Structures are given as structure tokens and as C-alpha cells.
Amino acid sequence: MQQNGASQRPNGHRRSILDLAPLELECMNALWPLGQATVREIQDVVSASRPRAYTTILTIMDRLAHKGVVARVKSGRAWVYRGNFSAEQARESAISQVVRHFFGGSAEALRAHLAGHRAEIAPVSPAAQDAAARKPRPAARSGAPPPEGSNIDESLL
């Protein structure tokens, strides 16, 4: 999977962080602050809000590994998982997708919506969306360039 939370996988894997099921995203939200964790550690975080069986979390983490969302290594009898992209990269990718698909590619229209103002949103053709996706983007504000193959739009920050 690409390092930005979105992928164009020919084998049918999910193509977007927005496509994760609620429990998959909940597990990722438990994993990201930990950096890397075992199923038991992820279960402890997730179960703080709603108890979940160890086997449920194990199944979810296995699915996320098969989708390429997480990497895992065997450590003794347990798997240790880490995200293949950061929470910040996932958020930026998700916001970029929302802007593109719900706000005609206009970050200003999203800002207006969040401020409670109605904004006219002109539909954007698929060709215009493709052209915008290919447009060079500025480097992240931290000074570091976005990851290779990134489609994260730093202008949304």
C-alpha cells in the first residue's frame, strides 16, 4: 500500500482509508499512538470503550495486514503490528478525498461548510479531478517532502 493511506490495488484491496470498517479504524486509532503493538495491547486500548474479544481483534489485525494497512513481525508467539502510514497521513488523505468527492475539489467550500455557510459547489468532471491529482503539490509545512507516490494535499492544512 502507498504511504499515504490510499492505494490503487488491482487485486481488489481497499483503495482508501475511508473504506476501512469502523472496527478496523478503531484498531488503527489504537495502534497509531503506540507505534507498534501486539494484539493484546491493541485489545486493551480498544476495550477501554467497548469490550472486544482477543480473537476479534486478532481477526481485524490479520485483515489489515492482508490489505497492506499494517505490517507485522513475529515476536515469540505473538505478532507485533505497526502501521504502514501515520495517523496524520491517513487524516490528510481522507480529508483530500472528502474535498475531492464532496466539495468539487474546493478546500474553500469545505471551510465554508465547516463554518456553517452554504457554498455553491460546482461539479468537477473526472478528467478535472485526474488533472488536479497529477498537479505538483507543495512540500509539507515541516519542510519534509510528502512520501513517494503521495496524493496528500498539504494545502488543506
Q: How many domains does the chain have?
A: 2
Q: Within this chain, do residues 92 and 76 fall inside the same structural domain, yes or no?
A: no
Task: Give the span between the Cα atoms of 89 and 6, in whole angstroms.
Answer: 9
E strand residue ranges, the chain: 36-38, 70-75, 78-83
Going by C-alpha positions, the residue among 82, 89, 127, 81 that lies closest to residue 7 is 89
Q: What secondary structure letter does DSSP report for 33? A: H
What's the longest Cα–Cα distance across the chain? 57
Q: What secondary structure letter does DSSP report for 19? A: G
pLDDT tens-place string over residues 57-92: 999 999 999 999 999 999 999 999 999 999 999 999
The answer to whether position 38 is within a domain reads yes
> What burial class does residue 99 get, using C-beta atoms within 10 Å of its C-beta: 0-12 exposed, 13-18 middle, 19+ buried?
buried
Q: Within this chain, do residues 68 and 92 fall inside the same structural domain, yes or no?
A: no
The answer to whether position 44 is within a domain reads yes
pLDDT tens-place string over residues 88-125: 999 998 999 999 988 989 888 888 888 887 766 655 55
Q: Within this chain, do residues 31 and 70 fall inside the same structural domain, yes or no?
A: yes
The answer to whether position 72 is within a domain reads yes
Task: Give the span between the Cα atoms of 106 and 71, in whole angstroms.
Answer: 34
The answer to whether position 93 is within a domain reads yes
The answer to whether position 111 is within a domain reads yes
Prediction pTM value: 0.65
The answer to whether position 50 is within a domain reads yes
Spatial contact of 6 and 93, defined as CB atoms under 8 Å apart: yes
The answer to whether position 153 is within a domain reads no
Q: Within this chain, do residues 78 and 23 fall inside the same structural domain, yes or no?
A: yes
Q: Within this chain, do residues 78 and 110 fall inside the same structural domain, yes or no?
A: no
pLDDT tens-place string over residues 4-42: 444 444 444 445 777 889 999 999 999 999 999 999 999
The answer to whether position 76 is within a domain reads yes
* Domain at 47, CATH number: 1.10.10.10
Q: Within this chain, do residues 56 and 102 fall inside the same structural domain, yes or no?
A: no
Its domain, for residue 127, covers 86-134
